């Protein structure tokens, strides 16, 4: 009869011996573009992997009517046709604990492509790095999920509890047609893990709001520019006010888990600035779009009020803006804050496994971005995020560290054994 440590070591050696296969599978997935809204072909790739593993595979088309009835749904800008979620189920004993391993297949656009050292859809391997759009965020996590379960099955240590693999769409815009659709259709378990990038145990993330501000100026010919009112200059007053608000909120609002990760707990980012339509015309309008995060303890309406007041104060200091107040428009799209109790037995069990597998004290922290883990409480599941390391996520030359993919795979395999159980003889 083999003990738990012997089983782990056998599985770990198996994973190490499959390094080339894991890299091959990940590179192949990176080579299939899957920008949000265009995930169909990449999902065929995942369907094939899950089927080859002998899982019970469901190609799940999102039921929009069901989504619209759920309070956590965020409206999608995309048609759901041809973009299924792929769910692979390894059925176990109902009396044993079950686990969902979830990951998103969609990625952000790779532009500007000309600045990449290697083509973003090539999946190029250089030393310990695998480059490509989505390599780290989060196709590596999907591969870690898959190969963790595969390692157990191929070493004949089939988990006693049910394990569900989910490859989902549209996580990047925080819409609900992916993870929420799977959970609503009953693909739930006793716990949820999402291996988003970062080999820390992430148990919280802020709420996220999106808004835009519009400013009206007065158009005029450049040859008579003094008769116009340049909307850019007026918007700059709003810009400065929002930057000041961001600094003040960072000084006044603190969450230890978020600050472990980034050094700041909340952010107000001005992401786009558009104004004018002709070089010889005084711009008659300007618009900025913004992303605002807030702590779990903060009220979203109170945070919105801070923004409104900052914009109003900026306008009060300018005669034109007093007469033509800037307009603040809030998007329907938002992410609710999420926080998992650090002393939950699920978190403690995972940390114990991660610490022993990696032979280190794995940090428990909070993410400063939104994740699908926020949906777990609606289905009475504890959740966490823990995934491979890499750099340049959402940027040029994104890459994942291959060693960390194998380490993550080992941690997930060990945790499946611990959480779901495996036969020892």
Per-residue pLDDT of the chain (425 residues; tens, 9 = 90+): 468 889 999 999 999 999 999 999 999 999 999 999 999 999 999 999 999 999 999 999 999 999 999 989 988 889 999 999 999 999 999 999 999 999 999 999 999 999 999 999 999 999 999 999 999 999 999 999 999 999 999 999 999 999 999 999 999 988 889 999 999 999 999 999 999 999 999 999 999 999 999 999 999 999 999 999 999 999 999 999 999 999 999 999 999 999 877 789 999 999 999 999 999 999 999 999 999 999 999 999 999 999 999 999 999 999 999 999 999 999 987 888 999 999 999 999 999 999 999 999 999 999 988 899 999 999 999 999 999 999 999 999 999 999 999 999 999 999 999 999 998 76
Sort residue 380 into left (φ over 0), alpha (ψ -120 to 50) or beta: left
Degrees to nearest 5, angle at CA 24 with 23 and 25 = 90
| C-alpha distances out from residue 229 to 217, 233, 311, Å | 5, 8, 19
Q: Are 411 and 349 a contacting pair, CB within 8 Å?
A: no
338-339 and 383-385 strand pairing: unpaired
DSSP string, 320-375: HHHHS--EEEEEEEEE--EE--TT-HHHHHHHHHHHHHHTS-PPEE--SS--GGGG
What is the side-by-side order of every strand in the sheet holding 268-275?
Answer: 268-275, 285-294, 207-216, 327-335
Distance CA 423, CA 2 (A): 9
- What is the C-alpha separation between 26 and 150, in angstroms, rounded? 14
- 197-229 exposure pattern, b = at least 16 Cβ within 10 A, e = fewer: bbbbbbbbbbbbbbbbbebbbbbbeeeeeeebb
> Is 20 exposed, middle or buried (CB count within 10 Å of its CB: 0-12, 13-18, 19+)?
exposed
Output the pLDDT for position 336. 87
Helices (H), 212-324: 231-252, 256-262, 300-316, 319-323
C-alpha span between 384 and 376 (Å, rounded): 9
Q: 290 near 268, Cβ under 8 Å? A: yes
Q: Is there a contact between 254 and 173 (Cβ–Cβ < 8 Å)?
A: no
The DSSP line for 7-58 is HHHHHHHHHHHTHHHHHHHHHHHHTS--BTT--HHHHHHHHHHHHHTT-EEE
Rounded Cα–Cα distance for residues 89 and 71 (Å): 27
CATH topology of domain 207-335: Alpha-Beta Plaits (3.30.70)
Q: Which long-range contacts (CB under 8 A, 24 or more apart) does 250-257 make?
A: 253/294, 253/295, 253/298, 255/204, 255/206, 255/295, 255/296, 255/297, 255/366, 257/203, 257/204, 257/364, 257/365, 257/366
Domain 4-203+340-420: CATH superfamily, name plus number:
Zn peptidases (3.40.630.10)
Boundaries of every domain in the chain: 4-203+340-420, 207-335
Contact 204, 373 (CB under 8 A): no
Q: What share of the chain is helix, strand, coil (3-state, %, to 5)?
A: 40, 20, 40
Q: At 251, give phi and psi (nearest 5°).
A: -75, -30
Torsion angle in degrees (nearest 10) through CA of 264, 268, 271, 276: -150
Q: Which residues pair with 385 in a beta bridge?
A: 194, 202
Residue 240 has a pLDDT of 98
What three-state secondary structure class fits 376?
A: helix
């Amino acid at each position: 009869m083999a003990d738990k440590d012997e089983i782990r070591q056998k599985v770990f050696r198996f994973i190490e011996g499959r390094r080339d296969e894991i890299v091959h599978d990940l590179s192949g997935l990176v080579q299939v573009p899957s920008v949000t809204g265009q995930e169909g072909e990449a999902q065929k790739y995942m369907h094939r992997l899950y089927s080859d593993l002998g899982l019970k595979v469901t190609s799940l088309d999102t039921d929009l009517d069901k989504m619209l009835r759920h309070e956590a749904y965020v409206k999608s800008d995309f048609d759901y046709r041809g973009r299924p979620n792929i769910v692979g189920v390894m059925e176990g004993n109902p009396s044993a604990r079950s686990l969902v391993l979830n990951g998103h297949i969609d990625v952000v656009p790779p532009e500007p492509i000309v600045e990449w050292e290697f083509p973003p859809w090539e999946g190029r391997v250089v030393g310990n790095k695998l480059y490509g759009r989505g390599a780290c965020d989060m196709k590596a996590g999907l591969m870690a999920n898959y190969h963790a379960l595969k390692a157990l099955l191929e070493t004949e240590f089939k988990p006693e509890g049910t394990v569900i693999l989910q490859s989902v769409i549209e996580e990047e815009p925080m819409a609900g047609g992916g993870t929420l659709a799977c959970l609503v259709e009953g693909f739930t378990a006793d716990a949820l893990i999402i291996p988003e990038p970062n080999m820390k145990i992430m148990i919280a993330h802020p709420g996220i709001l999106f808004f835009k501000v519009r400013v009206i100026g007065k158009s005029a010919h450049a040859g008579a520019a003094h008769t116009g009112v340049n909307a850019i200059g007026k918007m700059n007053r709003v810009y400065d006010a929002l930057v000041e608000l961001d600094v003040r909120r960072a000084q006044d609002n603190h969450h230890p888990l978020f600050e472990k990760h980034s050094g700041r707990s909340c952010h107000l980012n001005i992401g786009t600035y558009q104004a004018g339509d002709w070089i010889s015309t005084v711009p008659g309008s300007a618009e900025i779009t913004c992303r605002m995060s807030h702590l779990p303890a903060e009220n979203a309406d109170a945070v919105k009020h801070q923004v409104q007041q900052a914009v109003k104060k900026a306008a009060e200091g300018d005669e034109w803006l007093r007469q033509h107040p800037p307009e603040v428009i809030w998007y329907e799209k938002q992410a609710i804050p999420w926080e998992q109790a650090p002393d939950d037995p699920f978190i403690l069990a995972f940390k114990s496994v991660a610490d022993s597998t990696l032979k280190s004290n794995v940090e428990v922290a909070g993410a400063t971005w939104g994740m699908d883990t926020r949906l777990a409480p609606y289905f009475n599941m504890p959740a966490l995020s823990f995934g491979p390391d890499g750099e340049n996520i959402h940027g040029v030359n994104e890459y994942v560290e291959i060693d960390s993919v194998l380490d993550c795979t080992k941690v997930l395999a060990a945790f499946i054994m611990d959480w779901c159980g495996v036969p020892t003889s």
